[in-house]
Chains A and B, each alone.
Chain A
Amino acid sequence: MGAWYEQFFYLAIALPFVGAALSSPIGRVFGRMAALVLALFPVAGFLLIFALSEEVQGRQIMLAGFDWIPAFDVRMSFRLDGLSYAFALLILGIGALIVVYTGGYLEKSPRIRQFYAFILMFMGSMLGLVLADDLITLFIFWELTSITSFLLIGFEHEREAARRGAIQALVITGGGGLALLAGLIMIRETTGLSSLSEILDQPEAIIESGAYVPVLILLLIGAFTKSAQMPFHVWLPNAMEAPTPVSAYLHSATMVKAGIYLLMRFFPVLGGTPMWEIILPVFGGVTLVVGALLSIRQSDVKLMLAYTTVASLGLLVMMIGIGSELALEAAVLYLISHSLAKACLFMVAGSIDHGAGTRDIRALGGLWRTMPVTFAAALLGAAAMGGLPPLFGFLAKEEVYAATAEAGGLYAWFVTGAALIGNSVMFATVLIVALKPFIGQLPTGLRKAHETGILVWFGPLFLGVVGLFAGIFSQVTHQFISNPMAPPSLDEAVAITISVGFHLGAALYLSIVTIILGVLLYRRSQVVRARIATLLARIGWGPDRGFDQVMRGLISGAFRLTNFLQPGRLDYYMRVTFVVIIGALWFSLIRSDALPALPEFPRLYFYEWAVLGILVLGLVVVANAPSRLAAVVSLGIQGLAVALLFMLLGAPDLSFTQFMVEILSVAILALVMTRLRLMPADRRPFREVIPELTIAIAGGLGFALFLITVSQIELDTSVSDFFTRYSYVIAHGRNIVNVILVDFRAVDTMGEIAVVLTTGAAILALVRIRVSKKDRAGVKRKRRALEGGGL
């Protein structure tokens, strides 16, 4: 069954996970070469996907999958078209380089094998996300990326900042994921379509379904949180607490691009409306400008790069929002270029840290003599980010300006302005990153700086060179990557043709302006940084602090709610439980007008009267028992009387069990009671008893009415008929109760005995908590305080 390429899919998605599972043994066996061996997994996946490039260029859409939860029509299904193909290649290609880089960068970490496992798991999740076809599959992989990135960001969990960054990323992107889930379920419910393929086949379905606005908003929350749009961007810079390979991977080519992928994927079915064309460019534009301005004020190389990533993501969202043919082409080119260049630059940042021991640009300088290869990689990466010819980034930036310039009217001014400011500031930032640490005098603190090993410098240099050749041989790049990526987002196949060749026009002029502005900013970066710092100090409040405040509020709110619901007082629980039950009973009885007719006076045999008498007698004794032990024992009378009733009414099994349970519970309670100091039962004045008395009377009456009602309704005996008829035929047993327990409903019983076992273990644990004498005094004091101030 299935087409020949199905195996390719499954294998490609499985490979990273297999690598993750094997990372520990491989790490043990191959030692320092483990990185190279583990990199073979993504490389193999890359080749598998690349082997399908001919089909992709022929615009063939390849599907594979199997039913997963048929009852809910959920499939585990995958789809390969141009968009997912290009993303998959980026994820696997850059992923392989990152694995190699990790081998050098974390060489000395004792937990490097664990890191391999995490990053390969993340890679697999990301791959599954871009290849997913079914909406629920998509969501599962989406959240998997959140969880695995949490593990990665918090990898150095000894540091508080790393933990905070990890939790923040998880809360923000995971929360966005829940919004996404809601959106996807709404799509399924309103249109009845459950996979991307079906949705993309009926592009009008969502817009016409009437749920367009909520679906759009929910999906945008998902995309914006994942892709770090203002004001959700805070997690991205804070995630820089992760080891550099994580930053180089998650924050350049993968995780943050998941939101972009989502927007591109849903553009044909959600895009093109006025809402889309306003919300996205506004959020994107603001993110672009603010992100760029924040990037230049930083002094930590990684943070600078992190904020330029925020800005770049803003630019991408803005482009997808504009939604014209040119804009989408620009988004595609920019995405590819940014993934390559940013991964390269992040790895360079790590290399600087590794080689020189610091990432602060104020302390860096003159490294070009000792770290020439890293310098070369940095220059290539910066040139690509800044969009200098003949690198691929240049093509991307030209297309961006071409798209904004033709957008028309006031809109064009806004988007062009945002792009111009953002690009020039980003250019200045990457210039600082690529030049400042390397040129000038070598500070005395850096005498020991040294070039890093081949594992570390290979990745960035390779990506830099790829960016260069991708620009020079642009037709090949377009054929294999950019063109397949673009069509699903566009109406009809439009080949991207832009090359480095000479072209005059608004775009080129804007490019020149960008470069001039960027260089000017670079030369005056000290002043700019100071200005932005004072501005921020004056504002004083930011989303990052806001996040903390929200979290604190959440925790204290939860604390208060818990205290309200779980004050730790048994009488409170009992009261609430009974009041709720009584409310439900009376409400339904009165509401449905089901108050029963009074039953005729029963004619009982004398022994039934006797049982009833025992019951009432026992009740009177319980209510008036002088000590607690007496109360417990006489409470047992009720149970025994009920057991007697069962016996008289022909249920020996039930009565038997009831007897035993009653005896054992009385015995155990008595056991506890005799060991405790047997305080006499509480005597309280009558007015204090009134609430409990009311509850008891209301409850007793309610239950009585309920039972009378039940007995006056004709019973549906089909179930008991079934058991009577089949218990011997099917289950070879004449005792129906037992047959039901161990045969017809054996799985239920299994669950129940599991509960019994757990309860036993839990009680054991509780009993074992021995309170020392000192603590005992404290507990008493607390109890007294509670009783004094409590009800």
Chain B
Amino acid sequence: MRTVIFRVTAPYLTSLMFLFSLFVLLRGHNEPGGGFIGGLIAASAIAVYGMAVGVEAVRRALFFHPIAYAAFGLVLAVLAGFVSIFAGFQFMTGLWAFPAILGGDVALSTTLLFDIGVYLVIVGAICAIALSLEERYSD
């Protein structure tokens, strides 16, 4: 699979897919998308990159171990639930704020934080599985 064409285009493809996955993640509350599907797209992006340049390069690019991303995501999701406790609501109650940034209303919420947590868990877990499988059988 490591053809020259693939290796040259893969980084661009990966970046585009990443960008798209973020877009899908952020618009998820109103349009098709969300953390789960965004995470899947990002995982595919990493898989594409991995096929092109090999596991070692992917691991270097990720910097942390994939499972660490997943664990961080889970912590983020749980923390998003705790925010509402400190605000005096029940665990996991969604809180919303609409601050005006650069002239437009930006919707910020704990649910968004939660969705980002989901995103990270999916990316991390699936990457961990795919990378370790690839590594295991390529030696």
Contacts and interface: CB of A to CB of B under 8 A. Distances in A.
Given A664-B47, A753-B73, A760 B129 contact: yes
Contacts of A756: 70, 121-122, 125
B107 A764 contact: no
B67 A732 contact: no
Given A671-B130, A760-B128, A735 B114 contact: no
Interface residues of A, number: 40
B83 to A, nearest CB: 12
A659 B124 CA distance: 19
Nearest to A765: B132
A749 interface: yes
Main secondary structure of the interface of A (DSSP, over half): helix
Nearest to B127: A760
B118 A656 contact: no
A739 interface: yes
B11 interface: no
A257 B19 CA distance: 70
Nearest to A654: B32
A672 B114 contact: no
Given A750-B81, A754-B74, A757-B70, A671 B34 contact: no
B44 A660 contact: yes
Contacts of A664: 40, 43-44, 47, 126
B96 A732 contact: yes
B111 A731 contact: yes
Contacts, number: 145
Nearest to A767: B132
Interface residues of B, number: 49
- Chain B binding surface SS class: helix
A303 to B, nearest CB: 53
B109 interface: yes
B92 A656 contact: no
Nearest to A747: B92
Contacts of A741: 34-36, 118
Contacts of B117: 753
B100 to A, nearest CB: 16
B41 A668 contact: no
Nearest to B29: A733
Contacts of B70: 756-757, 760
A742 B118 contact: yes
A763 interface: yes
Identify the interface centre among B34, B78, B122: most chain A CB within 10 Å of its CB. B34
Contacts of A742: 28-29, 34-35, 94, 111, 114-115, 118
B41, B94, B109, B124: which has the most chain A beta carbons within 10 Å? Answer: B94
A764 B135 CA distance: 11
B92 to A, nearest CB: 5
Contact of A738 (B33, B43, B92, B126): B33
B136 to A, nearest CB: 5
Contacts of A661: 40
B6 to A, nearest CB: 15
Given A652-B32, A661-B40, A750 B77 contact: yes
A663 B29 CA distance: 24
B56 to A, nearest CB: 16
Given A668-B129, A668-B133, A763-B129, A738 B124 contact: no
A683 interface: no
Contacts of A767: 129, 132-133, 136
B137 interface: yes
A676 B137 contact: yes
Interface string B33-72: 1111100110110010000000000000000001100110
Interface string A474-517: 00000000000000000000000000000000000000000000
Contacts of A737: 34
B29 A732 contact: yes
Contacts of B36: 657, 741
B122 A735 contact: no
A677 to B, nearest CB: 10
Contact of B121 (A734, A747, A757): A757
Given A746-B111, A756-B70, A735 B34 contact: yes
A657 B74 contact: no
A672 B43 CA distance: 17
B3 interface: no
A265 to B, nearest CB: 40
B120 to A, nearest CB: 9
Contacts of B67: 757, 760-761, 764
B34 A663 contact: no
A764 B34 contact: no
Contact of A732 (B74, B109, B121, B126): B109
A733 B122 contact: no
Given A732-B29, A764-B128, A660 B94 contact: no
Contacts of B77: 749-750, 753
Contacts of B137: 671-672, 675-676
Contacts of B107: 732
Nearest to A653: B32
A735 B34 CA distance: 9
Contacts of B128: 760-761, 763-764
17 contacts: A660-B37, A668-B133, A672-B133, A675-B133, A675-B138, A731-B94, A734-B30, A735-B29, A735-B31, A735-B32, A742-B29, A742-B111, A742-B114, A746-B94, A749-B114, A750-B92, A761-B125
Given A750-B77, A763-B128, 10 more contacts: A657-B37, A668-B130, A672-B133, A735-B32, A746-B92, A746-B114, A753-B118, A756-B125, A760-B129, A767-B129
Interface of A: 652-653, 656-657, 660-661, 663-664, 667-668, 671-672, 675-676, 731-735, 737-739, 741-743, 746-747, 749-750, 753-754, 756-757, 759-761, 763-764, 767-768
Interface of B: 28-37, 40-41, 43-44, 47, 66-67, 70-71, 73-74, 77-78, 81, 91-92, 94, 96, 107, 109, 111, 114-115, 117-118, 121-122, 124-126, 128-130, 132-134, 136-138
The 3 closest A-B pairs by CB, nearest first: A675-B137, A760-B125, A660-B40
